[in-house]
Amino acid sequence: MTGSLPCMSMDARICTGWVLGFLGLFVLQAGCSSLTGLQERYVVCSYDKVWEAALESVKDRAIKVQEKEKGLIETAWLEIPMPGRKYGAFQREMESKDRSRIVMKVKRLQDVTNVNYLEERQRWAFRGGSRLFGWADTDPSQEVMTDIQQRLDDKLKEQGCTLA
């Protein structure tokens, strides 16, 4: 049959399965996109040494959460001026800024320690409606992620740890 929908020639249960499968893939893909920028390191070293190296690597920011037993380090938001952004149809230059925070997790594994980290970044953006401007999620800064990675690697080496 030309011009008919793919499910028209199938049993209703099979069609529902196909639709749910495609919907599931869409949801999975959307969920994974929120993890963009997640970096991981596997380290042959004690948990305590890796924890100290992780703390040292974000020392330039205020620490909001520091829970060693849970393996969680979270920095406070850091606002960063972003000059040169323009808004609206007339491309007016207005105050623009981003804000950034780092979330790190340190996990004990059998014979290695895992560290993963990401930068959560938001930009001050035009939103319209009753709140003209507000924070909107944006991609992590490659520069920030590279800097954190380099500092973490350096601190791990200082502790005598080996990257796996």
Please report, for the chain, the start and end positions of each structural domain, with discontinuous segments joined by +.
36-163
End-to-end CA separation in angstroms for the chain: 57
CATH architecture of the domain with range 36-163: 2-Layer Sandwich (3.30)
pTM attached to this predicted model = 0.70
Q: What is the mean pLDDT of residues 107-125?
A: 93
Residues 69-115 pLDDT 10s: 999 999 999 999 887 666 556 666 666 789 999 999 999 998 899 99
Contact in structure between 38 and 31 (CB atoms under 8 Å): no
Q: Which residues pair with 41 in a beta bridge?
A: 115
